[in-house]
């Protein structure tokens, strides 16, 4: 190896040593990032609502996943982005060197420059690139994890994928927060540390990590035209609007990326420029544009002089502190500093934006919304009752639409997921609604199919044939997951959820074997005691007025039950439109359907084509009657102080049958006595009705 | 809603109910804050918010169409759930619909009595 050759490698070796023995560019220190991320999460009401109402994570950001809450995971993401294999030193050498973005450079060269090393990838691209052996915490990785979490088939898999999703999101938020550190937007490596970062890392200054200022959402509706940072979330970094002459000010700042605001308005310790436009990538601010002066007592007791700016971007009262010898030195001698007074002022502008822009990334990631509504037939699912409540729903039918404001979807894949708890002992939850239910959630995942969601509702049928949803479950929640194009983002993931009421049995019972007249109950099915009325047969003339008072029992032929939404009542029951049907129902018989629906109360109408009085043979036709049905729940909800409440709507027992809701066929004279009929013998017996195909 | 025929009204005195017994709600009477419960054994009990029903818990809300009871689980209850591998919760909130709403009547239309 020649001397020249060796000499050429010396600077690289020095740079490498510098990298090894320092942590050159961590950005805000990790405790600061943790607080920023947590503050961003806590400021986002929509995120909390999506977790709770769209994904069935009932405690929202406080939901525990693998020992930490969602809020914790995102906070820890703020820490992890500066680490590699959990080690901050390694992270400082690898990941943190990708935490820079200088907005006045093209994105292919806007990362950290540390000559003679090649320029590092900028954070705007790092967030969307293949990070290779340095980790997998880019936007696309978060997307994949979110999809895996939302469509996972076991609680263990889902919890892991959700935890990874939120950790990765936290790491992406870290990249945004670092842009509020001017050195990271002005290409200053600060190999020996940065005073602003140290200032913010002082726990006494944690109170400055507060406030909320964010961008105009319209900046995310513009294509990036970058081959790596394709998703418009990149505009949170840089909108490419700032050109060195139009610094973001109080009015225009929301239309700029955070790197542009930092670069154009604030100094970093090593980039204080005397004259505007003397530096191509840091044309502003500059000392010659500072037009405000103030004298503020410093912590040491001295009166320190500060200079600030009223224009050229944001108004900043304290841009720099004058050095002690400033007035005794000629103007070309540099004697300015960034002290705690300056940093406090910078923090007042930058930390609310770190929080607000990081929250903006979080909300953009979870912006997709799918709205779910009942199908035209009302019931999401219909299942024939099986002994022991062992039936299941093999398909669900409902309507979905893209409810994301201002963004259309393209072709994508749609999957429905039902989460629920099962009876631990195998007890029938209709008979024993207080039976213990599983601590772990179970999941049924539908077959995926291709669809383009539209802003208007489409009715779809989801096939759960591979793993049907059992009818004997509690705490049921329905989610739909879409993966495909959303707005300008390819391969986005969006979700929608619906807390369905629990599977509910509806019964149609023929209770005409007993009749009431004037307060007295008569077992009219006993034709020996109550023979058909006629000459010499007066048992049915209870008040002996010569007119029969008891007509039953009755046989029903052609019976159709249809449920409906009071808000959108559809066609009534018929041979072609029913949820449950019987060809014949004799006295003491009942039939049952289990249905899934989403309303606290809904309607049920029964059409009886023919009701025949068995003793006399007389026939009534086409009886149509409706009733209000209360929804059934057996679920969990957060209680006060972190407690968990199990909400149960218990069943009752009517003539030996545990039921939630039964439509009883009786005579009108029996209605006043109905409260006395619940314990009458014999017990009702179930017949199989006809339940339409899913 | 008055559906009390044949039942004996009494003030609930806090004994005689076991958790396993059915509990039925019959709605409010004159005073909207007062509801009526029965145990399926013929006795009717007048309850109001705060009434304790052994085995079922405390009356939390009284509505015309349903009543809400709250039962706080004891540590023994929770231990039993834990031992079964079941979900351990802190309380039950029991929403009991008015009994007559559970089984409305489909009356036979003009029954022929030939």
- At residue A18, the 3 state secondary structure works out as helix
**Nearest C-alpha in A relative to B24:** A652
pLDDT category at A26 given cuts 50, 70, 90 is low
**DSSP reduced 3-state for B56:** coil
pLDDT, greater one: A478 or A323: A478
Report phi then psi at A44, rounded to 5.
Answer: -100, 100
Q: How far apart are CA A508 and CA B80, in angstroms?
A: 37
Average pLDDT (A460-466) is 97
The candidate with the shortest Cα–Cα distance to A485, out of A416, A554, A409, A559, is A409
Which two structure tokens, joined as six digits, stand for A28?
């805000």
Average pLDDT over residues B60-82: 95
Do A576 and A608 contact (CB within 8 A), yes or no? no
pLDDT confidence of residue A33:
95
**Out of A421, A662, A667, whose CB is closest to B87?**
A421
pLDDT bucket at A442, cuts 50 / 70 / 90: very high
Position A575 scores a pLDDT of: 96
Q: What per-residue confidence (pLDDT) applies to B19?
A: 47
Q: Which residues of B touch A (CB under 8 A)?
A: 3-7, 22-24, 26, 40, 65-66, 81, 84-97, 99-114
The verdict on a CB contact (< 8 Å) between B92 and A434 is yes
Q: What is the CA radius of gyration of chain B?
A: 17
CA-closest candidate to residue A392, choices A332, A454, A469, A334: A469
Contacts of B22 in chain A (CB under 8 A): 652-653
Nearest CA-CA distance, residue B19 and chain A, Å: 10
The mean pLDDT of chain B is 77
Residues from chain A that touch B93, judged by Cβ atoms under 8 A, are: 637, 645-648
Give whole-number Cα distances, A12 to A18, A94, A325, in Å: 10, 16, 38
Distance CA B13, CA B52 (A): 9
Q: Which of A63-77, A278-292, A658-672 has the lowest mean pLDDT?
A: A658-672
A648 lies within 8 A of chain B by CB: yes
Rounded Cα distance between A316 and A296, Å, is: 15
Closest CA to A626 of A692, A565, A583: A565
Indicate the Cα dihedral angle A408, A410, A411, A414, nearest 10°: -40
Q: Is the pLDDT of residue A3 over 70?
A: no
Judged against a pLDDT cut of 90, whether residue A612 lies above it is answered with yes
pLDDT value of residue B109: 65
| Separation between Cα atoms, residue A320 and residue A267, nearest integer Å | 8
Confidence bin at A63 (pLDDT 50/70/90): very high
CB contact under 8 A, A646 and B93: yes
Q: What is the mean pLDDT of residues B65-86?
A: 95
pLDDT at site A333? 67
Question: What CA–CA distance (Å, rounded) separates A48 from A40?
Answer: 12
Q: Do B107 and A671 touch (CB under 8 A)?
A: yes
> What does the alpha-carbon distance between residue A354 and residue A336 come to, in Å, rounded to a whole number?
26
How high is the pLDDT of residue B42?
65
A26 and A82 Cβ atoms separated by less than 8 Å: yes
**Long-range contacts formed by A287-290: CB under 8 A, 24+ apart:** A287/A320, A287/A336, A290/A319, A290/A320
Q: What is the DSSP string of A435-485?
A: S-BBSS-EEEEPPPEEEE--SS-EEEEEE-TTSPEESSEEEEEEEEEEEEE
Q: Is A57 on the interface with B (CB under 8 A)?
A: no
Determine the pLDDT at residue B45: 85
Taking the C-alpha atoms of residue A435 and residue A439, their distance in angstroms, rounded to an integer, is: 13
Q: What are phi and psi of A98, to 5 degrees?
A: -100, 20
Interatomic CA distance for residues A498 and A371, integer angstroms: 8
In this predicted structure, the answer to whether residue B39 has a pLDDT above a threshold of 70 is yes
- Minimal CA–CA distance to A47: which of A174, A170, A215? A170
Q: Considering the entire predicted model, what is its pTM? A: 0.91
Q: Which helix (H) or strand (E) holds A365?
A: helix A340-365
Q: pLDDT by residue (tens digit) across A534-582?
A: 888 889 999 999 999 999 899 999 999 999 999 988 889 999 999 999 9
Interface probe with A: pick from B17, B69, B77, B105, most Cβ of A within 10 Å: B105
Is residue B111 predicted with pLDDT exceeding 60?
Answer: no
Report, in angstroms and rounded to the nearest whole number, the Rg of chain A calculated over CA atoms.
35
CA–CA separation, A615 vs A134, rounded Å? Answer: 86
Contact criterion met (CB < 8 Å) for A650 and B96: yes
Q: Do A664 and B3 touch (CB under 8 A)?
A: no
Out of A548, A648, A673, name the one closest to residue B94 (CB): A648
Rounded Cα gap, residues A210 and A199, in angstroms:
15
Given a contact cutoff of 8 angstroms between Cβ atoms, the answer to whether A485 and A409 are in contact is: yes
Q: Provide the CA B29 distance to its chain's centre, in angstroms.
A: 15
CA distance A145 to chain B (A): 27
In which band, very low, low, confident or very high, does the pLDDT at A326 lie, cut at 50, 70 and 90? low
Cis peptide bond N-terminal to A116, omega within 30: yes
Site from B81, B95, B108, B113 to mutate, A interface, most A CB atoms within 10 angstroms: B108
Of A616, A630, A673, the CB nearest to B114: A616
Residues from chain B that touch A613, judged by Cβ atoms under 8 A, are 108, 111-114
What is the distance between the terminal CA atoms of chain B, rounded to a whole angstrom? 35
How confident is the model at residue A675, as a pLDDT? 81
Mean pLDDT, residues A43-49 taken together: 93
Specify the pLDDT at position A328. 67
Look at residue B113 and tell me whether its pLDDT is greater than 50.
no
pLDDT at residue number B110: 54
How far A556 CA lies from chain B's nearest CA (Å)? Answer: 10
How close A630 gets to chain B, by Cα (Å)?
Answer: 8
Reading the block at residue B107, the tokens are 């009356």
DSSP, collapsed to helix, strand or coil, labels residue A204 as helix
Q: Look at residue A168 and tell me whether its pLDDT is greater than 60.
A: yes
Q: Which of A81-90, A502-511, A637-646 has the lowest mean pLDDT?
A: A81-90
The number of residues in chain A equals: 694
**How far apart (Å, rounded) are the C-alpha atoms in residues A74 and A61?**
10
In chain A, the residue whose alpha carbon lies closest to the alpha carbon of B3 is A675
In this structure, of A84-98, A444-458, B19-33, B92-106, the range with the lowest mean pLDDT score is: B19-33
Cis bond before residue A682 (omega within 30° of 0): yes
Top-confidence residue, A160 or A295: A160
The 10s digit of each residue's pLDDT in A126-166 is 999 998 888 899 999 999 999 999 999 999 999 999 999 99
- Helical H segments across A25-84, by residue range: 30-43, 45-49, 55, 70-80
Question: DSSP letters along A593-651, please?
Answer: EEEE---SEEEEEEEEEEEEETTT--EEEEEEEEEEEE---EEEEE-GGG-EEEEE---
Residue B7 pLDDT > 80: no
- Tell me what pLDDT residue A14 has: 43
Closest-CA residue of chain B to A436: B86
Q: What percent of chain A has pLDDT over 90?
A: 82
ipTM value, please give it. Answer: 0.85
Measured distance CA(B109)–CA(A551) in Å, rounded: 12
Is the confidence at residue A290, as pLDDT, over 70? yes
User: Which of B66, B93, B108 comes nearest A667 by C-beta?
Assistant: B108
The C-alpha of B80 sits at a distance from chain A's nearest C-alpha, in angstroms, of 10
Mean per-residue pLDDT of chain A: 92
CA distance B45 to chain A (A): 15
Is the pLDDT at A24 greater than 60, yes or no?
Answer: no
| B-chain residues near A644 (CB < 8 A) | 87-91
What is the torsional sign of CA A214, A217, A218, A222?
A: positive
User: A410 and A485 in contact (C-beta within 8 Å)?
Assistant: yes
Write down the residue that tokens 């726990």 correspond to: A203
Mean pLDDT (whole number) for A25-52: 91
Residue A335 CB neighbours (<10 A): 16
CB A658 within 8 Å of CB A649:
no
pLDDT digit string, tens, across residues A387-436: 999 999 999 999 999 999 999 999 999 999 999 999 999 999 999 999 99
Q: Where are the strands (E) in A244-362, listed by range?
A: 292-297, 303-309, 316-322, 336-337
**Partners of residue B90 in chain A, C-beta under 8 Å:** 639, 643-645
Closest chain B C-alpha to A644 CA, distance in angstroms: 5
Interface touch B109/A659, C-beta < 8 Å: no
pLDDT value of position B101: 87
CB contact under 8 A, A630 and B93: no
Contact A645 B109 (CB under 8 A): no
Please report which confidence band the pLDDT of residue A194 belongs to, taking 50, 70 and 90 as the band edges: confident
């Amino acid at each position: 190896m020649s001397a020249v050759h060796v000499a050429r490698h010396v600077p690289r070796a020095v740079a490498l040593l510098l990298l090894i023995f320092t942590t050159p560019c961590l950005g805000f220190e990790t405790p600061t990032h943790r607080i920023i991320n947590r503050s961003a999460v806590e400021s986002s009401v929509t995120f909390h609502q999506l977790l709770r109402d769209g994904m069935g994570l009932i405690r929202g950001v406080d939901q525990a996943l693998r020992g930490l809450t969602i809020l914790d995971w995102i906070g820890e993401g703020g820490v992890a982005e500066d680490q590699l294999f959990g080690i901050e030193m390694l992270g400082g050498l690898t990941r943190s060197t990708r935490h820079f973005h200088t907005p006045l450079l093209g994105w292919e060269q806007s990362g950290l420059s540390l000559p003679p090393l090649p320029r590092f990838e900028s954070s705007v691209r790092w967030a969307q690139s293949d990070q290779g052996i340095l980790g997998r915490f880019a936007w696309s990785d978060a997307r994949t994890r979110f999809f895996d979490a939302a469509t996972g088939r076991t609680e263990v898999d889902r919890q892991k994928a959700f935890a990874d999703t939120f950790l990765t999101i936290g790491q992406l938020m870290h990249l945004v927060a670092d842009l509020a550190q001017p050195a990271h937007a002005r290409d200053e490596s600060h190999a020996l540390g940065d005073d602003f970062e140290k200032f913010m890392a002082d726990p006494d200054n944690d109170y400055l990590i507060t406030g909320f200022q964010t961008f105009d959402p319209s900046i995310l509706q513009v294509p990036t035209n970058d081959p790596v940072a394709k998703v418009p979330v990149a505009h949170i970094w840089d909108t490419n609007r700032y050109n060195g002459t139009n610094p973001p000010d109080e009015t225009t700042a929301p239309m700029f990326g955070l790197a542009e605001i930092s670069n154009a308005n604030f100094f970093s310790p090593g980039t204080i420029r005397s004259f505007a436009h003397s530096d191509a990538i840091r044309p502003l601010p500059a000392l010659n544009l500072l037009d405000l002066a103030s004298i503020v007592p410093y912590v040491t007791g001295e009166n320190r002089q500060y200079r600030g700016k009223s224009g050229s971007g944001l108004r900043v009262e304290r841009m720099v502190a004058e050095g002690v010898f400033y007035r005794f030195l000629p103007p070309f001698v540099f004697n300015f500093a960034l002290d705690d007074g300056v940093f406090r002022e910078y923090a007042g502008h930058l930390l609310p934006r770190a929080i607000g822009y990081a929250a903006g990334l979080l909300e953009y990631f979870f912006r997709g919304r799918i709205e779910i509504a009942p199908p035209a037939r009302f019931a999401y699912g219909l299942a024939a009752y099986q002994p022991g409540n062992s039936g299941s729903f093999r398909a669900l039918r409902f309507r979905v639409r893209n409810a994301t404001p201002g963004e259309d979807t393209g072709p994508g894949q749609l999957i429905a997921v039902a989460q629920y708890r099962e009876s631990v002992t195998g007890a029938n939850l209709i008979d024993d609604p207080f039976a213990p239910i599983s601590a772990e959630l179970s999941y049924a995942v539908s077959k995926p199919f291709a669809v383009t969601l539209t802003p208007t509702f489409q009715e779809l049928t989801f096939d759960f044939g591979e793993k049907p949803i059992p009818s004997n479950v509690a705490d049921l929640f329905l989610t739909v997951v879409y993966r495909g194009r959303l707005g300008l983002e390819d391969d986005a993931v969006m979700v929608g959820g619906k807390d369905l009421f629990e599977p509910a049995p509806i019964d149609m019972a023929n209770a005409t074997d007993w009749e009431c007249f004037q307060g007295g109950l008569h077992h009219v099915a006993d034709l020996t005691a109550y023979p058909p009325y006629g000459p010499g047969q007066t048992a049915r003339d209870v008040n002996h007025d010569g007119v029969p008072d008891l007509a039953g029992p009755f046989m029903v032929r052609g019976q159709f039950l249809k449920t409906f939404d009071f808000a959108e009542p559809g066609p009534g029951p018929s041979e072609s439109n029913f949820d449950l049907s019987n060809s014949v129902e004799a006295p003491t018989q009942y039939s049952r359907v289990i249905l899934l629906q989403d309303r606290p109360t809904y309607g049920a109408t029964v059409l009886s084509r023919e009701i025949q009085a068995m003793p006399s043979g007389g026939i009534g036709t086409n009886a149509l009657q409706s009733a209000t049905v209360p929804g059934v729940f057996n679920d969990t909800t957060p209680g006060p102080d972190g407690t968990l409440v199990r909400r149960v709507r218990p069943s009752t027992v009517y003539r030996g049958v545990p039921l939630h809701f039964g439509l009883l066929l009786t005579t009108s004279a029996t209605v006043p006595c109905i409260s006395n009929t619940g314990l009458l013998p014999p017990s009702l017996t179930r017949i199989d009705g006809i339940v339409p195909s899913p | 809603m008055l559906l009390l025929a044949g039942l004996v009204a009494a003030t609930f005195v806090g004994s005689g109910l076991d958790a396993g017994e059915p509990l039925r709600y019959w709605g409010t009477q004159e005073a909207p804050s007062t509801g009526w419960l029965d145990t399926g054994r013929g006795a009717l009990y007048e309850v109001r918010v705060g009434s304790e029903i052994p085995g079922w818990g405390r009356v939390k809300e009284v509505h015309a169409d349903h009543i809400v009871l709250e039962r706080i689980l004891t540590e023994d209850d929770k231990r039993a759930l834990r031992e079964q591998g079941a979900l351990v919760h802190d309380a039950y909130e029991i929403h009991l619909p008015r009994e007559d709403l559970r089984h409305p009547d489909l009356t036979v239309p003009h029954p022929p009595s030939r």
